[in-house]
Amino acid sequence: MAHIHLGEGSFPLWAVALWTLVGVTLIGIVVYRLRRGGIKTHQIALAGIGAAASFAVFQLNLPVWGGIHMNLTGLVGILAGPALGALIALVVNVFSAALGHGAVGLLGANTLVNATEAIAAYYIFRTLLRMDWDVFPATASAATIGLSAGAVLMGAIIVVSGVNGSALPRADLTVAVAGLVGLNLGVAVVEGILTGFVVQFLASVRPDLLDLIDRERGEEDPAGVAA
């Protein structure tokens, strides 16, 4: 899960207002679409418990480069879909900010980044499955690309906003942020591979969660196709 790797107060006021507005607009669209379709109880339950699981997973310290934490945003997007994935991203960010991780003023920007990861991962995963990719490479690629998109967006948000109190020109700020984005791209690959293994495991025990039953039946029943 790529974050805006800046603490509270790092963006000027106009940027805080801008990203809050963009974040609210995105979530507004998601809520409108969900309400228009009639919100089902199972959607509420899945989003609520999915966000709780994502938040809980963040408590696990993975021994990579001295220890990293993940929220598996790509995985959440693949399992819950783009709309619920965006809602989960918002809720996880709200809880993270309340516990001092992330920033209250940057909720809009953080949600934008994480929702992008979830939405991109979902659509790429579905596209790759339609192209007949296996579950592991499809998931690992989708999650890695989705998280990378989030990391690049995060860097772009920092460069557009500028850092509060810094006199650094935008070009030099881009150089400073490039290292951070590069680090996040490395984490995206690790998280992407892990997501691939997790979904491979889930597909083996509950293929219905990923709408893979029809696909598997098709593969297992070549005689029917031949007939």
**DSSP code for 62:** B
Please tell me the number of Cα atoms within 13 Å of 227 on its side-chain side.
5
A 10 A CB-CB count for 218 gives 11
Segment near other proteins (CB under 8 A); pick from 33-41, 124-132, 142-150, 213-221: 33-41
Determine, following the binding rule CB under 8 A, whether residue 168 of this chain makes contact with other proteins: yes
**Interface positions, 47-76, toward other proteins (CB under 8 A):** 47-53, 55-64, 67, 69, 72, 75
Determine, following the binding rule CB under 8 A, whether residue 135 of this chain makes contact with other proteins: no
Across-strand partners of 62? 68
The contact mask relative to other proteins for 182-221 (x = CB under 8 A, - = no) is -x------x--xx--xxxxxx--xx--x------------
User: Rounded to a whole number, what is the largest CA-CA distance in the chain?
Assistant: 72
**DSSP code for 100:** T
Which of 18, 156, 159, 180 binds other proteins (CB under 8 A)? It is 180
Segment near other proteins (CB under 8 A); pick from 4-12, 118-126, 140-148, 218-226: 4-12
Closest-CA residue to 145 (of 185, 94, 204): 185
Determine, following the binding rule CB under 8 A, whether residue 176 of this chain makes contact with other proteins: yes
